[in-house]
């Protein structure tokens, strides 16, 4: 997915930028970048790979090279950023959290107009540079940003560092968040409210879908008001979001606990203990234990010093190994117990299958798994929340193909809770993963736990629903 952070202050922004960006590190694994602006030095930028090292280790020794009272940083799952641009709009830097599905189509259109694209990584187009080129085609920043909204298929939120402020533009359907924070000497903008408390910022509000604001150290100017509709990604609360963060004023951990409690109250399974798969399954497990009146125990623990993320390596086999190595079963608690394990989701199922085998090898009598979202039946065209390159990497689609001879057959039936197709698919997931049983949260319970209207939350990966992603008059104005 990715995340970003920007800050503008009456004093040096460098330390705040460094730590604020680091607090978005859980959102991406490939690259990170920082850029500051100083009236005397101009723009200072650095970009590093995060595939083998952490953000802090890459940038800490470079902090003295940055100066100024305004800057932006990014944790990217895609291209190297920030991009620094000279244009008729002035000199500026830009970072994005985006997934642009028609990248090549737009690039070909720009090349036909004798424009050029210079930034590439692994022979791939840099989508942040493409966004900058579209912005430059506008008479103003607002014109250019709206051109981005109209052209792309997918999603795009951005921060733009200019010489006199930071422009923030949230995706036109609000699929990814931008939150505004304030303290006495300035403002900050972030993908995660988690960035704010330790730096002394108080959350002011969420930037609205399609809203464009310009932030200075003493003021926030609304350059374009929010659009009419919101489709914020529900998976932020399920998996991606840090537990202390809030989106649309709704806390991640509270949603997970509410969701787990709903499932625990309804579930009839007989078990001796409940355990959450760290980290994103813990909140749900605490809620489930409360709802089911079953004790919560830490039967498996995450070894955080060296295994903070399971999907860092590019190689899938290596990712699977890292996922296994980071979780340590506690055999003394597992032995002879009937256990309910709560987890955020099942994508391929590889990691969970390996974990379950370990749980049984450590003496568990029964392993019941409860998942905090419905089955992932549809690939996400809007946010890159997994490393999957194809819908066929989803265990659900593999099962549907095996059952129907076509992985796209009767998707609506397989996505419908308690339909015969749904029940057959879920039973097969349990069989393939070696589970005593598995149950998924219903879409209705997930949406109710979030607390937003269904039509304000994107649930495409569960039920295939989404608004038209093109920016027409329904969203603009």
Give the per-residue pLDDT at 119: 56
Using the 8-state DSSP alphabet, how is residue 296 labeled?
Answer: B
Please tell me whether residue 423 adopts helix, strand or coil conformation: helix
Q: What is the pLDDT of residue 116?
A: 76
Per-residue model confidence (pLDDT) at position 457: 96
Phi, psi (degrees; rounded to nearest 5) at 349: 90, -10
pLDDT value at residue 387: 55
pLDDT of 124 reads 78
Instruction: State how far the Cα of 233 lies from the Cα of 112, in Å rounded to an integer.
Output: 35
Phi first, then psi: give them for residue 247, nearest 5 degrees: -125, 135
**pLDDT given at position 473:** 38
Q: What is the pLDDT of residue 115?
A: 78
- Please give the pLDDT value at position 320: 60
Does residue 98 contact residue 131 with C-beta atoms inside 8 Å?
A: yes
Q: Counting beta carbons within 10 angstroms of the beta carbon of residue 60, is it exposed (0 to 12), middle (13 to 18) or buried (19 or more)?
A: exposed
Confidence at residue 322, expressed as pLDDT on a 0 to 100 scale: 62
Query: What is the reported pLDDT for 164?
Result: 95
- Quote the CA–CA distance of 349 and 364 in Å, as a whole number: 19
Question: What is the CATH T-level fold of the domain 250-463, as seen in this structure?
Answer: Rossmann fold (3.40.50)
* CB contact at 8 A, 312 and 322: yes
Contact 340, 436 (CB under 8 A): no
Whether 24 and 75 have beta carbons less than 8 Å apart is answered as: yes
The pLDDT of residue 326: 79
User: What tokens were used for 180?
Assistant: 């505004």
Residues with Cβ within 8 Å of residue 143, at least 6 apart in sequence = none
Helix, strand, coil % in the chain, rounded to nearest 5: 35, 25, 40
With a CB cutoff of 8 Å and minimum separation 6, the contacts of 275 are 285, 296, 297, 298, 299, 300, 339, 340, 341, 342
Please name which of 311, 362, 361, 364 lies closest in space to residue 341, comparing C-alpha atoms.
Answer: 364
Task: Answer for the pair 375, 442: CB distance below 8 angstroms, yes or no.
Answer: no
Enumerate the CATH 3.60.20.10 domain ranges in the chain, comma separated.
3-227
What the block records as the tokens of 421 is 């197709």
Whole-angstrom Cα distance, residue 192 to residue 386?
19
Task: Please list the residue range(s) of the chain that carry CATH number 3.40.50.2020.
Answer: 250-463
Domain 3-227: assigned CATH number: 3.60.20.10
For the chain of 477 residues, list the mean pLDDT of each consecutive stretch of 10.
Answer: 96 97 92 96 94 86 95 94 96 97 91 75 79 96 97 96 98 97 98 98 98 97 96 95 97 98 97 94 97 97 64 55 76 97 94 92 97 96 72 95 96 96 98 97 98 95 74 41
DSSP state of 256: H
């Amino acid at each position: 997915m990715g995340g970003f952070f920007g800050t503008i202050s009456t004093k040096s922004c460098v330390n705040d930028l460094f730590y604020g960006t680091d607090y978005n590190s859980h959102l991406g694994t490939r690259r990170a970048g920082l850029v500051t602006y100083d009236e005397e030095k101009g723009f200072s930028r650095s970009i590093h790979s995060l595939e083998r090292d952490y953000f802090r280790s890459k940038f800490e020794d470079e902090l003295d090279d940055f100066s100024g009272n305004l800057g932006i940083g990014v944790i990217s799952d895609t291209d190297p950023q920030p991009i620094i641009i000279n244009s008729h709009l002035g000199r500026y830097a830009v970072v994005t959290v985006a997934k642009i599905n028609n990248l090549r189509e737009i690039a070909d259109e720009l090349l036909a107009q004798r424009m050029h694209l210079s930034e590439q990584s692994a022979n791939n187009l840099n989508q942040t540079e493409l966004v900058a080129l579209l912005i430059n085609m506008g008479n103003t920043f607002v014109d250019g940003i709206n051109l981005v909204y109209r052209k792309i298929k997918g999603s795009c939120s951005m921060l733009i560092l200019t010489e006199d402020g930071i422009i923030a533009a949230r995706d036109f359907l609000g699929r990814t968040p931008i939150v505004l924070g304030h303290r006495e000497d300035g403002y900050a903008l972030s993908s995660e409210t988690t960035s704010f408390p330790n730096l002394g910022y108080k959350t002011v509000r969420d930037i609205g879908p399609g809203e464009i604001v310009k932030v200075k150290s003493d003021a926030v100017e609304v350059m374009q008001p929010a659009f009419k509709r919101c489709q914020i990604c529900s998976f932020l609360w399920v998996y991606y979001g840090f537990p202390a963060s809030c989106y649309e004023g709704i806390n991640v951990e509270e949603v997970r606990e509410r969701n787990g409690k709903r499932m625990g109250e309804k579930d009839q399974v007989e078990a001796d203990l409940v355990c959450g798969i760290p980290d994103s399954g813990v909140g749900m497990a605490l809620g489930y234990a409360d709802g089911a009146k079953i004790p919560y125990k830490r039967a498996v623990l995450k070894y955080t010093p060296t295994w903070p993320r399971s999907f860092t390596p590019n190689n899938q086999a290596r990712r699977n190994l890292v996922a296994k190595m980071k979780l340590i079963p506690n055999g003394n608690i597992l032995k002879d117990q009937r256990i309910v394990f709560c987890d955020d989701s099942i994508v391929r199922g590889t990691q969970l299958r390996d974990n379950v085998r370990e749980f049984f090898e450590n003496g568990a009598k029964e392993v019941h798994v409860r998942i905090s979202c419905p089955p992932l039946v549809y690939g996400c065209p809007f946010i890159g929340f997994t490393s999957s390159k194809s819908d066929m990497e989803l265990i659900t689609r593999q099962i549907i193909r095996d059952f129907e001879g076509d992985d796209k057959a009767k998707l609506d039936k397989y996505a419908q809770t308690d339909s015969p197709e749904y029940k057959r698919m879920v039973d097969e997931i349990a069989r393939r993963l070696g589970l005593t049983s598995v149950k998924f949260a219903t879409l209705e319970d997930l949406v109710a736990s979030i607390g937003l209207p269904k039509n304000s939350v994107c649930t495409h990966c569960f039920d295939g629903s989404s608004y038209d992603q093109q920016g027409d008059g329904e969203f603009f104005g």
